[in-house]
Structure 1
Amino acid sequence: MRRGAIIAALVLSGCITAGAPAQADIPIDGARVFPESLTMDSAGNLYNSSSLGTIYRTVPGGTKAEPWIVPNAENGLTSLFGVLADERHGVLWACNNPGFGGPPAPGAVSSVKAFDLKTGAYKASYAFPAGKPAACNDIAVAKDGAVWANDTSAGRLFYLPEGGNALVLFAEGPELVGVDGTAFAEDGTLYINNVRKNLFQRVDRKPDGSYAGLTDLKLNDTLNGPDGLRPLGGNRFLQAEGPGGRIALIEVHGDSATVTPVKTGLESSPSIAWIGRTGYATEGKIAYLFDPALKDKDPGTFYIRSFPLPDGL
């Protein structure tokens, strides 16, 4: 049976049915964590970012996400968005940004930071060019080993060449303002979503590989705050939607894509990861940062929510 037919058979009331029981939800051992991103490695570790700069790790069989890499003078961590476990390079990449809650400190810039994936030891930092408001949001690794990062605020795409020591600007423009999730399809095509415009887009290139603009893919469903984006192989991705509170399967077909809900009813879910047949989504509780009615209230414990992944993924 074709995979598309399998997926269709699993759809029930707009949501794919589950194929295996999920593991327990995972509490994050920290206060006011506000996790923006989540990633996993083949050993079964989960890593999540936090608004105060700590990277948490949940080890296989662990019952909570514990502080693993904490801010210090050497690593310069302040506030984290995207994290990505890159086993090809043995690196945990992290998008670091000036802290929330006031103007940035003098000289503060967004950057991509590298940590040893096994030990958590600090390795390097690659700063975004100064002079513009910036927000490093998400990271992806290309087939050639280049590490890509986006800038939501200024609408830019950067890459760190294999063996390079500085970020290279690939594209910049108003059409990229709001870029969020970033991931490569199996054929090397780069796809992004836009959290402000609720778009899923292909990054087009000229024959020489340079930037040729964006193609807005036609979707069968409306997106609501698309955020974290992870490749599944082929032209398939799992996408988190924070305001929409859902995880969805995105399947690209040329200039269109189908959106199939995998998990709904989440609370401000900006990211997605999976281990085996279990999916995980961070609970962002972002309203406690920006809603005047909630800003000074205790958001309580933050959880990484678990759910069974459907057969066919």
Structure 2
Amino acid sequence: MNWNVAPTARDVTINGSRVFPESITHDAQGNLYNASTGGTIYRTRAGAGTAEPWVVPGPDNALKSLFGVMADNARRLLWTCNNPNIFAGERGVSSLLAFDLSSALQSARYDFPADGPAACNDIAIARDGAVWVSETSGGRIFVLRPHANELELFAKDEALVGIDGLAFSGDGTLYINNVRKNLFQRVERKADGSYAGLTDLTVPVQLGGPDGLRSLGGNRFIQGEGTSGRVAVLTVSGNSVTVTDVVTGLNGPVGVTVVGREAYVVEGKIGYLFDPKLKDQNPDPFVIRAFPLPVVK
């Protein structure tokens, strides 16, 4: 299945240059929020055709380069992963930040341990309100428990190096993908809830840079693949996965969120950051693409 990816009335243009979006989410009102490598958070009001800057880097928020974003409707917060901008040669501490969805003011900051390389990547919220965060460089999963004052290490494993997206199934099982190893995995737990390793799930297609991962309820997820150009619905049955394409042929679909029956996808165009043949070219405009969800039986 390869949908026509020409602009439609539902597509959204991001008001910025060299945005390089990395993740997208939505709140209960249907407003979209996307992160950017330059540190600006963009908001698209429900039904609008343009994403406008909502929070911009400044001395009051220390925003650098943003990866994951996740709306927390219960607490009226937007969580985001803040990292030193590696494309600008920056160094520093990675952190999980929270912004008030009403005021856009920063309300909390939780730094990652400075005991090694760290890259805060993506975010998922459990049924109990705990905020779970993937850390790519060190191969770690952290959790911020309700009312906690710091991040708690849930797992550190060489097998987790390259972890990117994470999402919970309907029964509370945590699933992840690995952008470096092209894997979709289930996180196993012991009886006491602690980490017990990973199970590689059998996927009938070759994944290409699996990145943004969001739950669709039950045992279904939607995933963007940055290097293959695919967005697909993944349905888990035991240790096997069925893949139903939403769209293929996109330019780095690194993030996806679903509002109603529409999937909103950010094209990261990440090749313009790495490919010597593209680095001097203008990748603008950046567009949030909208596609209908396929019927999955």
Coarse TM-score class (shorter-chain normalised)? over 0.9
1:266 is the counterpart of 2:250: yes
C-alpha distance in 2 between matches for 1:197 and 1:245? 16
C-alpha distance in 2 between matches for 1:283 and 1:221? 21
Counterpart for residue 18 of structure 2: 32
TM-score (norm. length: structure 1): 0.90
Letter in 2 for 1:63: G
C-alpha distance in 2 between matches for 1:194 and 1:164? 28
Q: Percent identity?
A: 58
Q: What secondary structure does 1:266 align onto? A: coil
Counterpart for residue 128 of structure 2: 144
C-alpha distance in 1 between matches for 2:228 and 2:235? 19
TM-score (norm. length: structure 2): 0.95
Among 79, 98, 123, the alignment partner of 2:107 is 123
1:23 Cα deviation from its structure 2 partner:
4.2
1:119 Cα deviation from its structure 2 partner:
2.1
Among 19, 36, 44, the alignment partner of 1:50 is 36
Give CA-to-partner distance per residue, 1:95-141, whole Å, 9 cap, x none: 00001334434xx1111000012221110111110031111110001
C-alpha distance in 1 between matches for 2:130 and 2:292? 32
Among 208, 227, 230, the alignment partner of 2:214 is 230
Is 1:51–1:100's contact at 8 Å kept on the other side of the alignment? no
Counterpart for residue 63 of structure 1: 49
C-alpha distance in 1 between matches for 2:73 and 2:2? 30
1:74 Cα deviation from its structure 2 partner:
1.6
Is 2:225–2:252's contact at 8 Å kept on the other side of the alignment? yes
1:96 is the counterpart of 2:50: no
1:252 is the counterpart of 2:236: yes
C-alpha distance in 2 between matches for 1:291 and 1:169? 35
C-alpha distance in 1 between matches for 2:128 and 2:264? 28
Q: What secondary structure does 2:87 align onto? A: coil
Letter in 1 for 2:33: Y
> 5+ unaligned residues in a row in structure 1: which ranges?
1-14
> 5+ unaligned residues in a row in structure 2: which ranges?
none
Counterpart for residue 7 of structure 1: none
1:16 Cα deviation from its structure 2 partner:
8.8
Q: What secondary structure does 1:271 align onto? A: strand
Is 1:230–1:272's contact at 8 Å kept on the other side of the alignment? yes
Letter in 2 for 1:88: A
Is 2:169–2:218's contact at 8 Å kept on the other side of the alignment? yes
1:312 Cα deviation from its structure 2 partner:
4.8
CA 17–291 in structure 1, closer or farther in 2 if over 3 Å, else same: closer
C-alpha distance in 2 between matches for 1:77 and 1:238? 28
Counterpart for residue 158 of structure 1: 142
Counterpart for residue 81 of structure 1: 67
1:62 Cα deviation from its structure 2 partner:
1.2
The alignment's C-alpha RMSD in Å is 1.6
C-alpha distance in 2 between matches for 1:75 and 1:280? 27
1:262 Cα deviation from its structure 2 partner:
1.3
Letter in 2 for 1:131: D
Letter in 2 for 1:25: D
Is 2:244–2:296's contact at 8 Å kept on the other side of the alignment? no
Q: What secondary structure does 2:159 align onto? A: helix
- Give matches, 1:145-224, under 5 Å: 145-224=129-208
Give CA-to-partner distance per residue, 1:11-48, whole Å, 9 cap, x none: xxxx3989xxx743211001110000010112110000
Q: What secondary structure does 1:288 align onto? A: helix
Q: What secondary structure does 2:114 align onto? A: coil
Letter in 1 for 2:113: P
Give CA-to-partner distance per residue, 1:147-201, whole Å, 9 cap, x none: 0101111100000001111000010111000001100011110000001111100
Counterpart for residue 3 of structure 1: none
197-206 vs 215-224, which deviates more? 215-224
Which structure has the higher relative contact order (CA within 8 Å, separation 6+)? 1
C-alpha distance in 2 between matches for 1:308 and 1:256? 25
Counterpart for residue 276 of structure 1: 260
